[in-house]
Amino acid sequence: MSANQPLKNIAILTSGGDAPGMNAAIRSCTLAALHYGHKVFGFLHGFKGLINNEFILLEEQKVRDIIHCGGTILKSARCPEFLDENNQQLAADHLDNLNIDALIVIGGDGSFCGMLALNKHYKGQLIALPGTIDNDVDGTDHTIGFATAVNTAIDAIDKIRDTADAFERVFVIEVMGRHSGFLALNVGIASGAEQVITFENFKNPGVELQNIAEHIKLCKEKRGASSYLIVAAENLWPQGIDQLCNDLQNYANITCTPCILGYIQRGGSPVPKDRIMATKMGVAAIDAIINGKTMVMIGEVSATIVEVKIKYAVRHKKQVNGDLLMAQNSILDIAELAKINKL
Amino acid sequence: MSANQPLKNIAILTSGGDAPGMNAAIRSCTLAALHYGHKVFGFLHGFKGLINNEFILLEEQKVRDIIHCGGTILKSARCPEFLDENNQQLAADHLDNLNIDALIVIGGDGSFCGMLALNKHYKGQLIALPGTIDNDVDGTDHTIGFATAVNTAIDAIDKIRDTADAFERVFVIEVMGRHSGFLALNVGIASGAEQVITFENFKNPGVELQNIAEHIKLCKEKRGASSYLIVAAENLWPQGIDQLCNDLQNYANITCTPCILGYIQRGGSPVPKDRIMATKMGVAAIDAIINGKTMVMIGEVSATIVEVKIKYAVRHKKQVNGDLLMAQNSILDIAELAKINKL
Amino acid sequence: MSANQPLKNIAILTSGGDAPGMNAAIRSCTLAALHYGHKVFGFLHGFKGLINNEFILLEEQKVRDIIHCGGTILKSARCPEFLDENNQQLAADHLDNLNIDALIVIGGDGSFCGMLALNKHYKGQLIALPGTIDNDVDGTDHTIGFATAVNTAIDAIDKIRDTADAFERVFVIEVMGRHSGFLALNVGIASGAEQVITFENFKNPGVELQNIAEHIKLCKEKRGASSYLIVAAENLWPQGIDQLCNDLQNYANITCTPCILGYIQRGGSPVPKDRIMATKMGVAAIDAIINGKTMVMIGEVSATIVEVKIKYAVRHKKQVNGDLLMAQNSILDIAELAKINKL
Amino acid sequence: MSANQPLKNIAILTSGGDAPGMNAAIRSCTLAALHYGHKVFGFLHGFKGLINNEFILLEEQKVRDIIHCGGTILKSARCPEFLDENNQQLAADHLDNLNIDALIVIGGDGSFCGMLALNKHYKGQLIALPGTIDNDVDGTDHTIGFATAVNTAIDAIDKIRDTADAFERVFVIEVMGRHSGFLALNVGIASGAEQVITFENFKNPGVELQNIAEHIKLCKEKRGASSYLIVAAENLWPQGIDQLCNDLQNYANITCTPCILGYIQRGGSPVPKDRIMATKMGVAAIDAIINGKTMVMIGEVSATIVEVKIKYAVRHKKQVNGDLLMAQNSILDIAELAKINKL
């Protein structure tokens, strides 16, 4: 990169559910762009801001001290109206009116679909950064916000374990993740939960109910009275974890307490992993813009920055790593151990 | 205190909802008792353990490293069967059989009522330590566990604020506290919530609904779009905060997201305040036993240890400090300010 | 209080070492003042800003979101030049030129001495809020920042314990506190340290060296190899804790690792205790101004707001609570226990 | 893997500096081994325990609840005496006497060198897990403990920033890392430090002194008075950071405050990243043993488990990722920006 590059107007927006580290990414994009002399605009409220032409100028002083802040200073919003082609054209017009050469979108796969649509109307460069606590974006080991969400969930479950231990009780804890099991599986393993109910190994409620009930009873037999934690992915058990608790009561007379962690998983100061990855990705986004790239997502694979076609990130469903599932089975499946022991 | 005192057998139990700092109190009672040469027993599962004669010997090595642990190594349990006089007599018999000279109960007012009952059957000394996250025990500035619960709730709400800010949305957050507003009011003030709904200033749902709706609209007028947090005490709004959200939607077309913090508020490593107060109280409990006291609760008033009759602690309802209510009104009541400004 | 009071110009400054919760106090003073219609100015860099006439207008939007921020948005500074009477007069002139009716100073006893001096030149009201991590201000149970500093030190020592345990090693940890033992004693007890070296019970290096060495050996005898933590107040051991470690090596061949916690103890997001107390105190400061008070410090005693003459707060040295010293002796003094056991 | 494998005796030890997550690895190795019916021994105090034949039996109950604990339940120790061949033979004899089929060593490259030596005397399988906060082991993206150490350092520096901001002062913060810049560089970027002094880009003290002084002055010019944080790797600046502060004072009249973070970086509850990676690696270690592997280290590359020859991990020096250095330069080098702006 050299200072002889043409100076550009670069815009940034954050879209979809907020994720810790989005501000670190905004900061990094802005500082790196200013470093090379470019000008930076921030659109507010995600794609809604493109439609409504709401933006601010991003200067060093505005972003300098935000690396540790949760949320997003550019705000976010759901924007179903961006499905309308007229609004897509309006967005492109607003970008053109400001002479924006490149737009960086920080968000998840819904946001990337928005970029595919916008690309038909806007001739500038489009660069994506993966920002979602769900980690359900392919082409990158991790998304911005995932590490912090896991951390928050673990902190919460470490506390719930105390009460579960004191009362030797079964708790069912629901974590976020939309339709992906990354959060549930990582949180389950890191919290030492006795059971994880996730998309990747779920058969059907009947089979699972029987497995869980047997496992709880086996644990009680082997360990005596003790706590038992079940981490469950949201959107998985029919009618939710309250129903799961009812089902366990009815099926096997096991009393469970349901806990939904909810929105605390979205916020909070980003953990270092998210701050660092977001910083690297932001710098790489500006690098990609300088190099004339478009329709690529910046990812991180094995601690190294990569560029991936946005189409790829959208079209592939990232699989939860097999090592994790194997770890869960080997560590948690005391039932299996019991069978071996009986041989 | 001198080494010439008769050496005693002292028992400890934890009862009711677990509270962070109970282990610090167990440790402190045990170490102080051992310091003077007494012998220490721990009954398990609260009053249930008295009935079932479940106990362990407490030695230095068992309690040395538990000051920072949430929950209670002596376990806890609800014990409605202790209302039965036969069980009270059984408990007294078990204590007598072990030659227990004094029993320390760490718990809340329910546990203290149990002590009043036990006192009719057991001739040894009975000493209470206030341990509950609800802070609803009179005769002490704070109960063991309250400071940690406030801390946990604030940590959670600081995170929720990030999402509320990013989406400029209204959140209603329910905190624990049973039938007392200490948690809600302290948490509301420390989190900078725009609104606190608590027992101490609640009129009726109709009036409150109107006030809240007006305040939300006024805030929006004065600040532009922005987040708005409502901290609500549990057991207050008829049918809970989901209904409050529905009511606000129906009454004033305001969309709110409900969050129930739930069991995370009970657990976790105790904050220093709870560790220190529990340590001081534990030492004072042994001191009281050496001095022949019975049916007293150890409290802390203005950082100084006090002894209070258990009857007093049970019969008086502690009032939330007026300074707190005044602070809430002065800081949060922007509506009031607005009226003044219009004059 | 009513809206018919004359509307005033109120100024705020923070002075001396920064303490977590100062921002919460600034916010609370400002919001409460605005609530009653007053106007609020913030002087920058403590008394230096009074001399240099550096100030900003404090409005709702500037203070709304700072309750959780460490440091002070008004900056602080040491200001030896305020000992000069000419500068005191200059400060008074600047306040008069702005028609400031009342000045709130948030700081420790050095800052309060500055107020005594300023009072000779300035005819407005002067209100003090106790803000220092050292807790060495009389007339209040706690100072703003103390609870957070204890918390930070405990977090750090909980981590050091892990390494001390893994290597079965002796660590000496120096905490702040200037010439007062509040921090050392509270931190020592809450961390479960085996030994606390503090002003309140220090005899002389020779005696202490012998006591510590004997205690370490006794612990090793009774417990087998294990970790041993010494929490030491700064400014106590001649030539500091590195020398203490050398002395223990030379005197008794005990190898110790020194750790100075240092500046991490000053910063960080205030714990709820500091946020809430600062909020109450800020509201009470405005209340005192409305009621025509001057030369008073707002304190909190037994969770209730009090007003104390600044002279009193400056002239009395607050004593560490006797219960704490008793707790330390009973819990930590295993040597004493050993002697009793031998009888 | 099948239950028909021969059942083995497996030993585990932790060696070198303790690192958060070592307990999670011990737990995972043990549970996975028990899952397949193997027997597990834990040697104490690292290689010292091999020489002295100090060991315990590891059962489910001993490791079940340690995933969140810092330090190592197997203790650690430096062991220079293991350089002696007689001691290596003694260690091998002790392993043979117990019929240990495989030994898992959790530690850093010093420990791996011990394994190379032991391999000449011991005929069983040897499996390494990378456990060190320094991240200076090749063949794995991260070592166990690194993520937690970064996290701890950031927490500390976030607090120091508060005081630096309040006093608009320069702080120099020394972080660990032995002879590698991973910690310094990651911590520097994630804390938003203005300057990172690390092995990877260090020229010589004279050049660096000039660069730093110029950068500090430039920042002051562009931003006005403000804080300035320098994160420095240990073992880099001649005579340490106290000398660096003196040098800056003498060279450019810049007053700096030095802070050495020290031992807090080694301990603490492991962050989820370390818990999860340690769990996966532990399961993979048992898998490797079942598959007859020896002299391999388990690593994690791009979230996937890999096996690497121990020789490789020892002989290669892992390079700090180029993207990180690029990020540092682009974000922090305001001086460079200034030059461009002047063109």
Give B271-315 pLDDT, tens digit per residue: 999 999 999 999 999 999 999 999 999 999 998 999 999 999 988
Instruction: For residue B71, give the nearest of A70, A152, A162 by CB distance.
Output: A162
φ, ψ at D232 (rounded to 5°): -125, 135
Q: What is the mean pLDDT of residues C315-329?
A: 84
C268, D159: Cβ pair inside 8 Å? yes
pLDDT at site B1: 44
pLDDT at site D332: 66
* Active-site entry in A18, A101, A109, A134: A134
B297 closest CA partner among B47, B35, B54, B119? B119
Handedness of CA B113, B115, B121, B123 (dihedral sign): negative
Architecture of domain C148-266 in CATH? Answer: 3-Layer(aba) Sandwich (3.40)
Does B190 touch chain C if contact means CB atoms closer than 8 Å? yes
Instruction: For residue A75, give the nearest of B75, B166, B264 by CB distance.
Output: B166
B70, A159: Cβ pair inside 8 Å? yes
What residues of C are in contact with residue D152 (Cβ under 8 Å)? Answer: 159
pLDDT at site A225: 83
Whole-number Å distance between alpha carbons of D305 and D55: 29
Chains B–C, number of C-beta pairs less than 8 Å apart: 154
Topology (CATH) of A9-145+270-315: Rossmann fold (3.40.50)
What residues of B are in contact with residue C306 (Cβ under 8 Å)? Answer: none
Q: Which of D 278-337 lie inside 8 A of A, CB atoms? A: 279-280, 283-284, 286-287, 301-305, 321, 323-324, 326-327, 330-331, 333-334, 336-337
Q: DSSP state, D7?
A: P
Q: Categorise residue A270: left if φ over 0, alpha if ψ from -120 to 50, beta otherwise.
A: beta
pLDDT at site C342: 38
B75, A168: Cβ pair inside 8 Å? yes
What residues of D are in contact with residue C161 (Cβ under 8 Å)? Answer: 71, 267
Give B191-216 pLDDT, tens digit per residue: 999 999 999 889 899 999 999 999 99
B337, C37: Cβ pair inside 8 Å? yes
Pairing state of beta strands D55-57 and D228-233? unpaired
Buried b (16+ CB within 10 A) or exposed e, C45-83: bbbbbbbeebbeebebebbeebbbbbbbbbbbbebeebe
Angstroms from B205 CA to nearest CA on chain C: 26
A195-197: strand order across its sheet: A195-197, A228-233, A170-175, A256-260
Angstroms from A8 CA to nearest CA on chain B: 28
Whole-number Å distance between alpha carbons of B233 and B211: 17
B126 closest CA partner among B136, B140, B116? B116
pLDDT at site D342: 39
Angstroms from C158 CA to nearest CA on chain D: 7
Does B262 touch chain A if contact means CB atoms closer than 8 Å? yes
pLDDT at site C316: 80
Q: Residue C314: in which H helix or E strand, if any?
A: helix C310-315
Does A52 touch chain B if contact means CB atoms closer than 8 Å? no
B141, C68: Cβ pair inside 8 Å? no
**Class of the B147-266 domain?**
alpha beta
Q: By CA distance, what is C278's nearest residue in B?
A: B190
Angstroms from D302 CA to nearest CA on chain C: 29
pLDDT at site B76: 97
Q: By CA distance, what is B324's nearest residue in C?
A: C280
Does D224 touch chain C if contact means CB atoms closer than 8 Å? no
Which of the other chains make 3 or more beta carbon contacts under 8 angstroms with chain B?
A: A, C
* Active-site entry in D18, D109, D134, D247: D134
B159, A262: Cβ pair inside 8 Å? no
Handedness of CA C157, C161, C164, C166 (dihedral sign): negative
Does D217 touch chain A if contact means CB atoms closer than 8 Å? no
Residue ranges, CATH 3.40.50.450, chain D: 9-141+270-315
Q: Residue C96: in which H helix or E strand, if any?
A: helix C85-97
pLDDT at site D340: 41
pLDDT at site A335: 42
pLDDT at site B325: 85
Which of the other chains make 3 or more beta carbon contacts under 8 angstroms with chain D?
A: A, C
Q: By CA distance, what is D155's nearest residue in C?
A: C268
C270 within 8 A of C68, measured Cβ to Cβ: yes
What residues of C are in contact with residue B65 (Cβ under 8 Å)? Answer: 192
pLDDT at site C331: 75
C323 catalytic residue (yes or no): no
Mutation site for D-interface testing, chosen from A331, A336, A341 by largest number of D Cβ within 10 Å: A331
Query: Which stretches in chain A have pLDDT values below 50?
Result: 1-3, 334-343
Residue ranges, CATH 3.40.50.460, chain B: 147-266
Query: Which stretches in chain B have pLDDT values below 50?
Result: 1-3, 334-343
Q: CB-based contacts of B211: which residues, under 8 Å, 6+ apart?
A: B335
B14 within 8 A of B29, measured Cβ to Cβ: no
Q: Which of D 79-98 lie inside 8 A of A, CB atoms? A: none
Q: Residue C129: in which H helix or E strand, if any?
A: strand C125-130
Cβ burial, residue A56 (10 Å; 0-12/13-18/19+): middle
Give the CA distances from residue A268 to residues A151, A286, B165, C307, D186, in Å, rounded to whole numbers and listed in that order.
10, 26, 12, 37, 20
D35, A189: Cβ pair inside 8 Å? no
Residue ranges, CATH 3.40.50.450, chain B: 9-145+270-315
Q: Residue D313: in which H helix or E strand, if any?
A: helix D310-315
Does C163 touch chain D if contact means CB atoms closer than 8 Å? yes
Whole-number Å distance between alpha carbons of D43 and D118: 15
A31, D331: Cβ pair inside 8 Å? yes
Residue ranges, CATH 3.40.50.460, chain A: 146-266
B35, C158: Cβ pair inside 8 Å? no
Whole-number Å distance between alpha carbons of A204 and A209: 8
φ, ψ at C232 (rounded to 5°): -120, 135
> What is the DSSP track for B121-138?
T--SEEEEEEB-TT---T
Instruction: For residue D166, give the nearest of C76, C160, C168 by CB distance.
Output: C76
Does D262 touch chain C if contact means CB atoms closer than 8 Å? yes
Whole-number Å distance between alpha carbons of B302 and B313: 17
Q: By CA distance, what is C266's nearest residue in D?
A: D163
What residues of D are in contact with residue A154 (Cβ under 8 Å)? Answer: 272, 275
What residues of C are in contact with residue B305 (Cβ under 8 Å)? Answer: 323
pLDDT at site C317: 82
Confidence of residue C329 (pLDDT cuts 50, 70, 90): confident
C313 closest CA partner among C295, C286, C289? C295
Instruction: For residue B166, give the nearest of A71, A152, A168 by CB distance.
Output: A71
3-state SS record for chain A: CCCCCCCCEEEEEECCCCCCCHHHHHHHHHHHHHHCCCEEEEECCCHHHHHHCCEEECCHHHHCCCCCCCCCCCCCCCCHHHHCHHHHHHHHHHHHHCCCCEEEEEECHHHHHHHHHHCCCCCCEEEEEEECCCCCCCCCCCCECHHHHHHHHHHHHHHHHHHHHHHCCEEEEEECCCCCCHHHHHHHHHCCCCEEECHHHCCCHHHHHHHHHHHHHHHHHHHCCCCEEEEEECCCCCCHHHHHHHHHHHHHCCCEEEEECHHHHCCCCCCHHHHHHHHHHHHHHHHHHHCCCCCEEEEEECCEEEEEEHHHHHHCCCCCCHHHHHHHHHHHCHHHHHHHHHC
Query: Which stretches in chain D have pLDDT values below 70?
Result: 1-4, 332-343
Give the CATH number of domain D9-141+270-315.
3.40.50.450
D191 within 8 A of D161, measured Cβ to Cβ: yes
* Active-site entry in B18, B101, B109, B134: B134
Whole-number Å distance between alpha carbons of A273 and A280: 11
Mutation site for B-interface testing, chosen from C157, C223, C331 by largest number of B Cβ within 10 Å: C331
Please report which residue ranges of chain B form alpha helices under DSSP H.
Answer: 22-35, 47-52, 60-63, 85-97, 109-118, 146-167, 182-190, 205-223, 240-252, 272-290, 310-315, 322-332, 334-342
Give D315-330 pLDDT, tens digit per residue: 888 888 888 888 888 7
pLDDT at site D25: 98
pLDDT at site B291: 96
| Encoded tokens for A178 | 């939309």
Rounded to 5 degrees, what angle do the CA atoms B155, B219, B247 make?
Answer: 80
Does A62 touch chain D if contact means CB atoms closer than 8 Å? no
pLDDT at site C294: 98
CATH superfamily of D146-266: Phosphofructokinase domain (3.40.50.460)
Residue ranges, CATH 3.40.50.460, chain C: 148-266
